[in-house]
Chains A and B, each alone.
Chain A
Amino acid sequence: AQTVTQSQPEMSVQEAETVTLSCTYDTSESDYYLFWYKQPPSRQMILVIRQEAYKQQNATENRFSVNFQKAAKSFSLKISDSQLGDAAMYFCAYRSARGFGNEKLTFGTGTRLTIIP
């Protein structure tokens, strides 16, 4: 079974600075998807970024980028120019690409990010 580990329960960063959230995962599969979701105080789950394992290029969405290291099974999220609205719980998630019937997301335990004004 796949597992996702987020070893940083809490992180804080000064506004406008850069912060990196860590995520590692364990799988025997070669093809899969990785995601970062954000959960602000409203508790809505919001997709931040997605990475396909077969793509070597790291995904980027505006101020959010990932460092995907497939051999190391590492998938960290970098937030540049941190803003107050970035304060939230961040969850890393894994999904198999094996196809029909294997679509469930496996989540890590989350990292609570605080932005210091």
Chain B
Amino acid sequence: NAGVMQNPRHLVRRRGQEARLRCSPMKGHSHVYWYRQLPEEGLKFMVYLQKENIIDESGMPKERFSAEFPKEGPSILRIQQVVRGDSAAYFCASSPTQETQYFGPGTRLLVL
């Protein structure tokens, strides 16, 4: 059973561009969570999704950030008009029910 997959692993964007981060949950997992880790900090919750639904987006910045988990395909975290402060590691986790979350390897976003 493959683990949580994220791609790309590294992403470089210039200020003002868009960043799209993808997450494929473990097989059989219908719950997806996104977290952000700034340098030298712990992970901070961003958003929780089930298929086609956003359950909790209390950690998402109000502007420029959006997330989706369509019926088919991976979950996408989208950051529009990136700024240098968006540089961070973005982790996706999945779970089969509302229990233990298993993390992917993360996407390192660098904004130049």
Chain A residues packing against B (C-beta within 8 Å): 33, 35, 37, 42-47, 50, 91, 99-110
Contacts and interface: CB of A to CB of B under 8 A. Distances in A.
A109 B41 CA distance: 6
Contacts of B55: 100-101, 103
Would you call the interface of chain B mostly helix, strand, loop, or mixed? Answer: strand
Contact of A104 (B33, B41, B89, B99): B33
Interface string B74-104: 0000000000000001010101001111110
B56 interface: yes
B35 to A, nearest CB: 7
**Range for the number of chain B residues in contact with chain A:** 20 to 34
Contacts of B31: 103
B56 A103 contact: yes
B42 A103 contact: no
Contacts of B41: 109-110
B42 A91 contact: yes
A24 to B, nearest CB: 14
Nearest to B106: A43
Contact of A45 (B43, B44, B108): B43
Nearest to A106: B45
